[in-house]
A and B are shown apart, each in its own frame.
Chain A
Amino acid sequence: MNKLRENTALKGWLMVSPLAAVLFFFLVLPIILIVIVSFWRATEFSIIPAFEFDNYAFLFGSPVTYTVFFNTFKYALITWACTLLIGFTVAYYLAFHIRSLTWQIALFLLCTIPFWTSNIIRMISWIPFLGRNGIANSALLSWGVIDEPLEWLLFSDFAVILAFVHLYTLFMVVPIFNTMMRIDKSLIEAARDAGANGAQILWNVIIPLTKPGIMIGTIFVVTLVMGDFITVRFMSGSQSANVGRLISNDIALLQYPSASATAIVLLVTVLITIGILLRFVDIRKEL
């Protein structure tokens, strides 16, 4: 018996060794290195091994850091609320209002196809809509809603959040739809037989049973938004900043040690957020 167990352990290790190797060399080692470099010193053209807390001291001493972290949380929270509302409604429609499985799959695929196309192009494609002479402004002008073009449509926080919602709502729809499809329909019939109306069924039966899907979607959206730097840079026209942009700016200036320190603080923040969210859901059970 003991030998058999050893045998399965060995087999397991052999099977995961390529996976473990990739994760070790391209995830664990890089993180360790970032931690080390965050204590180094930078000159104008090189980085020097050292062990000093200057980078962190500077980071926590600068008021910019707090504004930027606040911005990051703001984007994450607003995007989360929007994607949750839209994603839940879409998943609910697909799971409970579409009656044939073929149609459910077809419409679900229609929702997921953009996920497999380029994010950058999907960002670029907002330009003709939101620009000063774009479709939104011309339409509003011709309807007489506004007298002059709105300046805050493109290159603003509004554009950033719109792009986030556009890019990441899929990440809410998929897990929520997945859990909804596994809800036993007889539970809903039972609730109806017991005299519950539509809103009560939604609030007391469907939402509690969908919680794991909502949590998984939340983890995706929150981490994607918190780690982003390119959407914020592109859609705000470099006018707003989040933590990711702070890091990428340091990298562009070859200030790797201070980029690393910021990156570590960001990583810790993200992991704490995930840790809190994971208390509400067991991912392995929900797959």
Chain B
Amino acid sequence: MEPRPRSFYVLTAFFTVFILFLYGPTITIGILSFQGEGGGLTFPMRGVSLHWFYDLFEQQAVGDIWGSFRRSFLLGLMVMIVTVVVSVMGGLAFRSKFPGSNILFYLIITSLVIPSILISLGVGLLFSQSGLEVHWSTSGFGAQLTWTLPFGLLIMFAVFNRFDKSYEEAARDLGASPWQTLRHVVLPIIAPSLIGVALFGFTLSYDEFARTLLTSGSYNTLPLEIFGMTTNVTSPVLYALGTLTTVFSLVIIGVFLCVALIMNRRKSRQASDAGKGDL
């Protein structure tokens, strides 16, 4: 290996600073959430305690956190499942041109770049004008899909752009029906990227704020609850909640990454040995 140029060390330092910038604040509130009972929102730490975490479990102290967590979790799962299914179907459809595919593609891009507050306002108006009640599981659900579906579809487009069609042709030559080709050839090949789509679907929904603001009705989702707290809670209990949700997000990300890793391992273990010359 050739020796590292000097620029490598400069850039490594830059990258390290960037990572510190990215994670530093989150780690800081992680530390501060263990603030002692008399402590405030900044350093110094006045002792170390779990006081603020206990506070979270007392319902009256800070509103309906656990209810909002349950709703956000459920909504995240709903959005995740629908995002995966609809994105795969859309990705498959977009492999061949069909009338109207261009318009639909531009709608997807619009859905991605439109300011979130327009979705919030528009869906809110749509429901109120047609006499329906806004609720997180109906209007909130739909509003969040306009944010997660474009991501899911862009991933599917990227996947199918790299997809080797000869696998399908081989399956067809062997007499597989279109459904069998899809079920036993295409889906297993794209499965690892579906983990990515699912991760996007769940986390984007779980953290979504702007698109749910006017569409969730009288029951808040967790990000709305947290934002409400920022205006009237001025104790480290805010940090405790922030730390808990961040840890929860990290666990979810970890689970998804592990599943993707295991699937990749299994795929390479089961892969054909054709062409390797083993007899």
Contact = CB atoms under 8 A, between A and B. Distances in A.
Q: Do A and B come from one complex?
A: yes
Interface of A: 8-9, 11-13, 15-16, 18-20, 22-23, 25-31, 33-34, 37, 86, 89-90, 92-94, 97, 99, 107, 109-111, 113-114, 116-122, 124-129, 131, 133-135, 138, 166, 169, 198, 219, 223, 226-230, 234, 244, 247-248, 251, 256, 259-260, 263, 266-267, 270-271, 274, 283-284, 287
B153 interface: yes
Contact of B125 (A30, A93, A119, A223): A30
21 contacts: A16-B89, A16-B93, A25-B126, A26-B142, A86-B18, A92-B11, A110-B19, A114-B26, A118-B207, A118-B242, A118-B245, A120-B223, A125-B242, A166-B22, A169-B22, A230-B210, A263-B117, A266-B115, A267-B115, A271-B110, A287-B154
Contacts of A126: 25
Nearest to A247: B117
B99 interface: yes
Contact of A229 (B12, B117, B129, B238): B117
A152 to B, nearest CB: 17
B117 A227 contact: yes
A27 B101 contact: no
Main secondary structure of the interface of B (DSSP, over half): helix
B41 A117 contact: no
Contacts of A97: 4, 7-8, 11-12
B115 A287 contact: no
A33 B89 contact: no
A26 B122 CA distance: 8
B197 interface: no
Most central of A97, A116, A271 by chain B CB within 10 Å: A116
A23 B111 contact: yes
Contacts of B21: 166
A125 B42 CA distance: 11
B223 A9 contact: no
A247 B43 CA distance: 37
A34 B118 contact: yes
B194 interface: no
A227 B204 CA distance: 17
Contacts of A122: 25-26
Nearest to A86: B18
Contacts of B25: 122, 125-126, 128-129, 166
B163 interface: no
Q: How large is the interface on B (under 10, 10 to 19, 20 to 34, 35 or more residues)?
A: 35 or more
A109 B254 CA distance: 11
A260 B26 CA distance: 36
A227 B5 CA distance: 42
Interface in B86-135: 86, 89-90, 92-94, 96-101, 104-105, 107-119, 121-123, 125-126, 129
B143 A26 contact: yes
Given A116-B253, A125-B28, A198 B7 contact: yes
B257 A109 contact: yes
A102 B115 CA distance: 36
Contacts of A31: 114, 118, 122
B219 interface: no
Contacts of B158: 287
Contacts of A230: 209-210, 227
Interface string B20-55: 011111101100100000000111000000000000
Nearest to B256: A116
A93 B18 CA distance: 12
